[in-house]
Amino acid sequence: MLGSDEGAGAFAAAARTLSRTDPQAYLFGEWRTDVRISLPETSTPEVQSSRQWGARVCVPGRPGRERFCAAPSPQALERLCAGARLPQDGARAFQEAGSRPIPDVVPRALQALETLRRRCAGSDARLGARWTFFLQEVLVAGADGGVARDRRAGSWLRLEVSTARGGRSLVERAFGLEVPCDEELQRMMEQALGRAEAQERARKVRPGPQRLVLAPGVGGVVVHELVGHALEADTVLRGASRLTEWGDPVAAPSLTILDDPRRGRAGWRVDDEGTRAGPTSLIERGRLAGRLHDRTTAAAAGTRSTGHGRRASFRESVHPRMGCTFLAPGDLDPEEVLKKTARGILVRHMRVGDADPRAGRAWFHVDDADEIFGGRLGNPLRPFLLELDAHAFLKTTDLVGHDLAFDRCIGSCVHHGQPLAVSVGAPTLRIGVATVIA
């Protein structure tokens, strides 16, 4: 097993042979377990699970020289490091669909979901849910004998409630591998049910320019798309980031944006190249402050990796990727942000539609929002499409609360065709200019 001293020793011994071919090369190993529990609105729960492990010889800046092998034996690891190209489909035999690799968590999660469904049965609403767990152990061994380890684990739960009168809502949260207490799950359920009932009287939003207030956590999605992607170093180096073309300051002085991979639902302390991770400032009080680097982009830029080198699996090459991107909290009471907004929209939940870092624009599907009139909440609004411009977002975000929250909107980030679990965060904030598309 990866975490054992014996397994790590064998891994490191194989990596030492890399010095004969390329002293910059390293050996990446991944052991991963995934479990997904689906609870459809009208049927019984379904549990899907899989396990896989594999190794990859990596050469920074030379992806064509990289090679990998699924479920290798110790002898195969040595051959892989010595330059052999081995069969790459061994993971198919190693997949264990139907197995229960996290047995102590799955039964408790199933019981919790059934309890929530029973509580929902007293109303005219129906509950659907998806609960995903993962456990990943990573080992990176260099040709010099150095070894780095990391353990990543977490889960995220999505509740979807629909009512007989057409109301729908979605509530998401991220957790560790432990099933949260009944009270916390009940709060999620009550929130989802309340918002579904509110949506029954939702009105159609008027298209055009709008002022937005984003609920705690929601603004992290905007930060991820309009700032994070624009400051991934490979995007910058190929000239595809509009954000880096603007002169400082690029944002209002109240805005500080960071990425800290150690935080959030799928955090890491060591990246997939063996570099220790830590917080990286992207925008500091309105001014550009940094980029997200892996070893290759850092070498090209004449700097050091920031510990953001990640891959979707051992089958893929590394790229600089976001970990947990968030807007730092301000000092305002979140109620003051609402009270100071004469007219606009409060966005409670939204999903990414599309983003273009070169153009500096992104589109979002808003599926839960309310009108704002006179600093107070009005009617719920039907789902709509929202367009945001990076320059307008950064320059017109003028009110920032102190209630920083993470992972209220959850999804996978796909970059270079590789999906990766990421985290986002933000406090309550107000954006001066956004465009509603009917």
Provide CB contacts within 8 A for 148, sequence distance 6+.
Answer: 139, 140, 141, 270, 274, 275, 276
Q: Is the pLDDT of residue 155 over 60?
A: yes
| Span 163-215, pLDDT tens digits | 999 999 999 999 988 899 999 999 999 999 999 999 999 999 999 999 999 99
Under DSSP, the state recorded for 19 is: G
Q: Are residues 365 and 347 in contact, defined by beta-carbon separation less than 8 angstroms? A: no
pTM listed for this prediction:
0.93
Cα–Cα distance between 15 and 2 in angstroms, integer? Answer: 14
Cα–Cα distance between 338 and 432 in angstroms, integer? Answer: 13
Q: Are residues 403 and 427 in contact, defined by beta-carbon separation less than 8 angstroms? A: yes
pLDDT-derived band at 87 (thresholds 50, 70, 90) equals low
Q: What is the pLDDT of residue 91?
A: 44
Q: 305, 302, 227: which is closest to 272 by C-alpha?
A: 305
> How many other C-beta atoms lie within 10 A of the C-beta of residue 274?
24
Query: What's the mean pLDDT in 319-335?
Result: 97
pLDDT over 90 for what percent of the chain? Answer: 73
Q: Is the pLDDT of residue 358 over 60?
A: yes
Amino acid at 171: V
Cα–Cα distance between 146 and 140 in angstroms, integer? Answer: 8
Cα–Cα distance between 119 and 159 in angstroms, integer? Answer: 13
| Span 29-70, pLDDT tens digits | 999 999 999 999 878 899 998 888 899 999 988 888 899 998
